[in-house]
Structure 1
Amino acid sequence: MNRQPFVAALRALRQTLLGPDAPVGRPLLARWPRVARYAAPVGLLAALGLFWITFAVESEWGLPAPIAVLFAAMTVAPLLALPRRPLLAWRLTVLALLVCTFNAPADQPWPWTPPLALGSVAVLAGVVARVDRPVLAWVVAISTVPVLTLVHPDNRPAVLALLGASAIVGDLIRRNRLSRRALAAQTEVSEREQERRAVLEERTRIARELHDVVAHHMSLIAVQAETAPYRLTDVPAPAAAEFVAIAASARDALTDMRRLLGVLRSETAGPQTAPQPDLTDLGTMVDAARRAGLPVTLDAELVDDDRVPAPVGLAAYRIVQEGLANAARHAPGAAVRVTVRVGPSRLGVRVQNARPAEAGSRPGEAGAGHGLTGMRERAASLGGTFTAGPLPDGGYAVTAELPYDAEGGDR
């Protein structure tokens, strides 16, 4: 004989009568914070009103004042406990239904006062929306005991139907709440996975671009090493062998980098044959933004920009490109100023837009994409710093500091 269902039923009964209370979960008025702040005082006033109505009804029935106060308190107490302790509220309700019936006059069709009858239905609907089905079955079964023993036989079918309807509605509410909670958790996981994937894709894109720059330098090294013995006169044999070894090492490095690029490149990505942009292409990009309707001002001091390494120039170009895209997307019509400063060992980039005429979402908010993440990744890959945030006047600015060695090699 399988005893598991019997053991599970006893465990659920113990949970119903003596177990810890059901988890509260999210408050009912959490979606409306302005209304939630008035819930406590309004609920307290409603409880005082029910207490006074119950006391008045009990007094009309001829009960002594202390007994009437006790029964009124037993009527209101479950409603006060319901938001935080639903199972405790139901237990107090069952106790009130059993105790507060003996005060009803014989000519009354119902054994309870109207506040107690309506309050018990509200408590039942509240508790069944928060408990599991085994506990729900015991709650409904025990709630029928006062009905079957104290309610007039002519009124029992209606009361039992009301209990059944409350149980069904509460169970539907509970299942809907659990489904929405699971959906919210899954959505959060999907958003985090999408963000992580965007970061990885941006890093892969940066790696591919850096591969092109480094491969160009390695090709130059290989060519210079191979042609050095022919360009120089009286090259000793050991030096010529060194040049041959350097050229062979450079070719091996190029082969390894091509293999690395094959790993980084996605299956759908085609070959990138266009040259990578640098600081000298900023003017062309700004002109294109102006033709698209974005009021852009370029403030760049690019004198002696040959000392800026190609990876740093490429990162600066991409940061300005993404900054202009964010300004056009989130601050349409606002004036944009692009500032580029070439220092002895650092390149400063700043894209700042004025306050937009129409309020729009800031970069980083819902629907803004991952542009800031890409800019931050580019700066971090070069050992630089990146900051982004709103300005006191309502505008927005992104700033990057990209270090490099004065001799021309990026750090």
Structure 2
Amino acid sequence: MDRSTLRGALAALRRTVAGPDYRRVRLPLGWLRSRPRATAALRTLGLLALLGLTLITAQFLLDSRRLPVATAWVIAILAVAPLPLLLTRPLLAWRIMFVGQLFGTFNRRPTDDWPWSPTQILVIVVVLTTVAARVDRAVLAWVGLFSLLPVWIFVPPRNQVGITLLFVALLLVGDLVRHNLLARRALAEQAELSELEQARRGVLEERTRIAREMHDVVAHHMSMIAVQAETAPYRLSAVPEPARAEFVAIADSARAALTDMRRLLGVLRSESEDPQTAPQPGLAELPALVAAAQRAGMTVTLSTDIPAEPSAPVGLAAYRIVQEGLANAARHAAGAAVRVTVRELAGGLAVRVVNSGEGSPAGPDARGGGQGLTGMRERASALGGTCVAGPTSDGGYAVEALLPGDREGGTP
């Protein structure tokens, strides 16, 4: 026998004699939780059954063994005590049963085929079968060996072989039940993993399909816009400098949209759920955003009063809200003056995008169907802030958001 096998056997022996027990088994009796009366009735019946078995065992010992009353009651309690512990403490139940095996032979008659009372024999059968279905094989080997010792010592020789075979059969049946349950559990876990894998593949395939559709539709059109905006000044004669600047702004916006689109498509196609490490825009990029809008022909003024840069999520949310506000103003109030204000308040960061009522109203194709306002509200709500939008008194439109003012180094 090599050292590893010997160490494993000794570890199993230590656990069998005085080691930690196995975890309890929860029976599928959830329906009892909603029926307290049924639970109380079952507990009462169980206690009465245990008390009845104890009384029967004690009376048997008093009549057949002529034991003192105290001794008979101690042995009777040892005989019945393992039963309520089988589900919660199987090893402890077996240890009590083994002690009962030893003490249950007191004052036995030489002519008895069994040195134990009928109740104790029944308990031994139940405990051995249940424990065999709960413990590892190494521990089970020690349990079987210790359980057979009283048989070889106290049982008459003519019955030792039969009782030994009976105990071995009980241990084998319990072990087969345990391995059957383990196999079923492993099969159920494998089936669950297969379902999760199939679901994950389905999600990935759907994300890939969405990414492909977005690339074929949106990215293609944005590429065409960028190309046409870049070549338009060369195809047209006598293009004024302001118009040329607007074409350049359109091309830059289209290329920026393509970059964001490619990043989004990469996320959709990727199977990994790791956080994206690409830099995200923040308040520092607001001047460039406003400059791009001005090059596109919009009249935009920016006013910021931020003593310290907010955290990345807050800065990104503020940037996206301003970006969407400018896009809405360009779509629905072309030519109107737009003012962007970002300032610090006691409760956080205030973002306001307001356009005057002097712009041209949106055409039928530009009205409705967008998700810009919903997206702004969702961004603010995700950070614990608020976002409201509505018409102003002069006929314009305003978007106002209040975001939490947490900084990278603390709160204001």
1:23 aligns with 2:23: yes
**8 A Cα contact 1:225 1:243, kept in partner:** no
CA–CA separation in structure 1 for the residues paired with 2:243 and 2:81: 98
Do the aligned residues in 2 keep the contact of 1:147 with 1:160 (CA within 8 Å)?
Answer: yes
Q: Report what 1:59 is aligned to.
A: 62
Deviations 1:368-409 (A, max 9, x none): xxxxxxxxxxx89985999xxxxxxxxxxxxxxxx99x99xx
Is 2:95 the partner of 1:91? yes
Q: Deviations over 1:94-119 (max 9, x none)?
A: 11111111233344332111010110
For residues 224-264 of structure 1, the C-alpha deviation after alignment (integer angstroms, 9 at most, x for no partner) is 55335656x6324x567657756876886798799779978
Normalised by the length of structure 2, the TM-score is 0.57
Matched to 2:2, the amino acid is: N
The alpha-carbon distance between structure 1 residues 384 and 201, as it changes in their structure 2 partners (threshold 3 A), is farther
| Equivalent residues in 2 for 1:10-409, closer than 5 Å | 10-24=10-24, 26-30=25-29, 33=32, 37=39, 40-61=43-64, 62-211=66-215, 212-213=217-218, 215-224=220-229, 226-227=231-232, 230=235, 234-236=238-240, 242=245, 304=364, 306-308=366-368, 312=371, 346=373
- Indicate how the Cα distance of structure 1 residues 89 and 176 shifts in structure 2: closer, same or farther if over 3 A, else same: same
Number of corresponding residues: 294
* Deviation per residue, 1:265-293 (Å, 9 max, x gap): 98xxxxxxxxxxxxxxxxxxxxxxxxxxx
- Tell me the distance in 2 between the aligned counterparts of 1:168 and 1:125: 8
> Which residue in the other structure is 2:2 paired with?
2
Aligned residues of 1:229 and 1:243 also touching (Cα < 8 A): no
Q: 2:402 matched to which residue of 1?
A: none
Task: Find the aligned partners of 1:91 and 1:305 in 2 and give their Cα distance.
Answer: 83
Coordinate RMSD, CA, aligned:
4.5
1:75, distance to aligned residue in structure 2 (A): 0.8
* C-alpha distance 17-262 of structure 1, shift in aligned 2 (>3 A): closer
Counterparts of 1:123 and 1:258, CA distance in 2? 67
Per the alignment, in what secondary structure is the counterpart of residue 67 of structure 2? coil
Q: CA 1:40–1:108 in 2, change beyond 3 Å: closer, same or farther?
A: same
Q: C-alpha distance in 1, partners of 2:175/2:378?
A: 57
User: Cα distance 1:209–1:265, how it changes in 2: closer, same or farther (>3 A)?
Assistant: same
Q: Which amino acid aligns with 1:20?
A: P
Shift of 1:64: 2.7
Q: Which has the larger displacement, 71-80 or 171-180?
A: 171-180
Amino acid at match of 1:4: S
Structure 2 residue runs without a partner (length 5+)? 270-362, 383-388, 391-395, 398-412
State how far apart, in whole Å, the 2-side matches of 1:205 and 1:46 are: 65
Partner in structure 1 of residue 300 of structure 2: none
Partner of 1:398: none
CA separation of 1:305 and 1:113: change in aligned 2, threshold 3 A: farther
Structure 1 stretches lacking a partner, 5+ long: 267-302, 313-344, 348-378, 387-402
CA distance in 2: counterparts of 1:89 and 1:146, whole angstroms: 17
Residue 155 of structure 1: SS of its match in structure 2? helix
Instruction: Flag the 1:264–1:27 CA change in 2: closer, same or farther, 3 A.
Output: closer
Give the whole-Å Cα distance in 1 for the aligned partners of 2:227 and 2:266: 24
Letter in 1 for 2:55: W
| Paired letter, 1:75 | A
Secondary structure, counterpart of 1:92 in structure 2: helix
- Partners of 1:226 and 1:247 within 8 A in 2: no
Q: Which amino acid aligns with 1:114?
A: P
SS of 1:154's equivalent in the other structure is helix
Distance, in Å, in 1 between the alignment partners of 2:106 and 2:268 is 82
CA distance in 2, matches of 1:346, 1:226: 34
Which segment is superposed worse, 114-123 or 3-12? 3-12
Structure 2 letter corresponding to 1:2: D
Q: Say whether the 8 Å CA contact 1:208–1:261 is kept in structure 2.
A: no
Report the Cα distance in structure 1 between the residues aligned to 2:379 and 2:234, rounded to whole angstroms.
38
CA contact (8 A) 2:229 2:247 kept: no
Deviation per residue, 1:194-249 (Å, 9 max, x gap): 44444444444444444423542452454355335656x6324x567657756876
Indicate if the aligned counterparts of 1:223 and 1:247 stay in contact, CA closer than 8 A. Answer: no
TM-score by length of 1: 0.57
Aligned residue for 1:170, secondary structure, equals helix
